[in-house]
Amino acid sequence: MSRKYFGTDGVRGPYGSAIMNEEFAWRLGSAAARFARAEPNFRSTEVLMGRDTRASGLSLERALAAGLQSEGLSPKSLGIVPTPAVSLMTRRSAASLGVVITASHNPAGDNGIKFFGPSGIKLTDDDESRLEGMLPVAAGAMSGPVALMQNSLAQYCELTGALLPRGSLAGWSIVLDTANGAACHSSRVVLQSLGASLALIGNSPDGSNINEAVGSQHPEKMAALVRARGARLGIAHDGDADRCVLCDETGEVLDGDEILTMLALHALRQGRLAKHTLVVTVQSNLGVDAAVRAAGGKVCRTQVGDRYVIERMQAEGANLGGESSGHVICSDISPTGDGLVAALKVLEVMQAAGRPLSELRKSLVKFPQLSRAVGVREKKPLESLRELPAAIRAIEAELGTAGRVLVRYSGTEPKLRLLVEGATDPVVQDCMDRLLAAARHELDVIEG
């Protein structure tokens, strides 16, 4: 079923646009309540809500809560909390829905709304299509502030902090970048409770600076500070803290593929990788497959989007999966991607191995790869184009089994994403240049 408003990660857009305003939030809340009540596993009227630090979040939360209340549900706000905290608390409570008001890694001017079912897992494509079909034509009266649920963030910190022994990070110097977002409090509290000495970046949210030149999308400051302080590593989240990007003690940045490979190989050695299977997306480097296969495991791939990873994990009986962007799902601990959990699991590997991150990352030998994201004014259907599909076919024929091409539109931003892997860097660069030239010729590309 096609969806009009939902993308790969909820409904998202510039605040004040046609799909990201108080009136639409009310309608979405009303539809979500109707959807929840129609489910055979409907278990209570309670809905848990969280938000990140954007200035528009509180107003959207109140409107969405009013929509939920119009259909008889009882929303409770967790306040400013990471997305994975809402997911985890939804699973551990009697709530029928979890809702997060966030635009994740997008700029402060954007916002979004995403939903979790009672299990703490994001709604499926079919669920979202059915929810869209229940949207009322117009919004009703907006209500006042929603009731605040006490101690929810403290519970999340306690649950995640228990992953490592208390005091186990004593003497560890860590740079932590929380993107002026939802993890400003939680990640700091947990790491300090374990004994770490922290240097903080992106820990002064003002409603308009979330993700602004900080966080997982901009790890440069983190890397520079790691080098300057001689820290063991750097940890960066995005605005809603469901991502984790690291840098090693030399200041070199690691992506999600390197994190997933380290965790998978460690779990295989410990006999804790369920079904000996790691789930990744088509975006991940082919070197991940080679490393996991060599250790006796297997890799399954799915389309881009952490919820598709989770769906495949459930189907395969796997307990580890994620994306190269830094979404890491450890389903034994959390039902969705959790940047803090991912960081703690890497710290566990470092302690068990007694080796620095710069050595552990070598377990993944990447195939030569280039990826680009270019802004477009209109997402013209790729099948309606001529030159770009022709360029893709020609390059795929040339690469054969020694590489691959991936071209798709972002599900959350007006961007075309291109990826090429091949045998050598010059081959990959030539292929990327040809793809970009074809895209620029047929699409209204926004340069810069």
Domain containing residue 441: 369-446
Q: How far apart are CA 59 and CA 55, in angstroms?
A: 8
Q: How far apart are CA 50 and CA 57, in angstroms?
A: 9
Q: Are residues 73 and 104 part of one domain?
A: yes
Residue 81 lies in a domain: yes
- Could you read off the pLDDT of 306-358 as tens digits, one per residue? 889 999 999 999 999 999 999 999 999 999 999 999 999 999 999 999 999 99
Q: How far apart are CA 89 and CA 83, in angstroms?
A: 10
HSE-up of residue 236 (Cα within 13 Å, Cβ side)? 34
- Residue 131's nearest CA partner among 36, 256, 247, 215 is 36
Residue 132 lies in a domain: yes
- pLDDT < 50 stretches in the chain: none
Q: Are residues 321 and 270 part of one domain?
A: yes
Q: How far apart are CA 87 and CA 116, in angstroms?
A: 6
> β-strands 173-177, 233-236: how paired?
parallel
Residue 125 lies in a domain: yes
Q: What are phi and psi of 407, to 5 degrees?
A: -130, 125
Q: Are residues 246 and 282 part of one domain?
A: no
Instruction: Please tell me what DSSP assigns to residue 346.
Output: H
In Å, the largest CA–CA distance within the chain is: 61
Residue 165 lies in a domain: no
What pLDDT is attached to residue 448? Answer: 55
In sequence order, what are the residues at sequence separation of 6 or more whose Cβ sits closer than 8 angstroms to the Cβ of residue 46? 73, 74, 75, 76, 93, 94, 95, 96
Residue where a domain stops, chosen among 197, 227, 254: 254
Q: Are residues 261 and 249 part of one domain?
A: no
CATH number of the domain residue 238 falls in: 3.40.120.10
Residue where a domain stops, chosen among 363, 389, 409: 363
What pLDDT is attached to residue 412? Answer: 78
- Residue 138's nearest CA partner among 28, 268, 279 is 28
Q: Given the structure tokens 């195939």, which residue do they identify? A: 367
Q: What are phi and psi of 366, to 5 degrees?
A: -80, 145
- Could you read off the pLDDT of 246-260 as tens digits, one per residue? 999 999 999 999 999
Residue 139 lies in a domain: yes
Residue 2 lies in a domain: no
Q: Are residues 126 and 53 part of one domain?
A: yes
What integer best gives the mean pLDDT of the chain?
A: 95
Please return the burial class of 315, using the count of CB atoms within 10 Å of its CB with bins 0-12, 13-18 and 19+.
exposed
Please return the burial class of 248, using the count of CB atoms within 10 Å of its CB with bins 0-12, 13-18 and 19+.
buried
Q: Are residues 131 and 108 part of one domain?
A: yes
In sequence order, what are the residues at sequence separation of 6 or more whose Cβ sits closer than 8 angstroms to the Cβ of residue 20? 11, 12, 13, 14, 56, 60, 110, 111, 112
Which residue among the candidates 104, 216, 284, 325 is catalytic per the annotation? 104
Q: How far apart are CA 70 and CA 113, in angstroms?
A: 18
Q: Are residues 421 and 318 part of one domain?
A: no
- Residue 104's nearest CA partner among 123, 129, 86, 89 is 86
Q: Are residues 56 and 117 part of one domain?
A: yes
Q: Are residues 249 and 260 part of one domain?
A: no
Q: Are residues 109 and 65 part of one domain?
A: yes
Q: Are residues 376 and 340 part of one domain?
A: no
What pLDDT is attached to residue 283? Answer: 87
Q: What share of the chain is helix, strand, coil (3-state, %, to 5)?
A: 40, 20, 40
Residue 164 lies in a domain: no
CATH number of the domain residue 426 falls in: 3.30.310.50
Extract the tokens encoding 139: 């919004």
Residue where a domain stops, chosen among 254, 275, 305: 254
Q: Are residues 341 and 243 part of one domain?
A: no
Helix axes 152-161, 186-193, angle to 10 degrees: 40
Answer whether 231's CB lies under 8 Å from 250's CB.
no
Residue 280 lies in a domain: yes
Q: How far apart are CA 376 and CA 435, in angstroms?
A: 15
Please state the domain count of the chain: 4
Q: How far apart are CA 298 and CA 267, in angstroms?
A: 13
Instruction: Report the SS3 class of residue 371.
Output: strand
Is 104 annotated in the active site? yes
- Residue 207's nearest CA partner among 436, 361, 14, 54 is 54
What pLDDT is attached to residue 113? Answer: 98
Residue type, 418: L
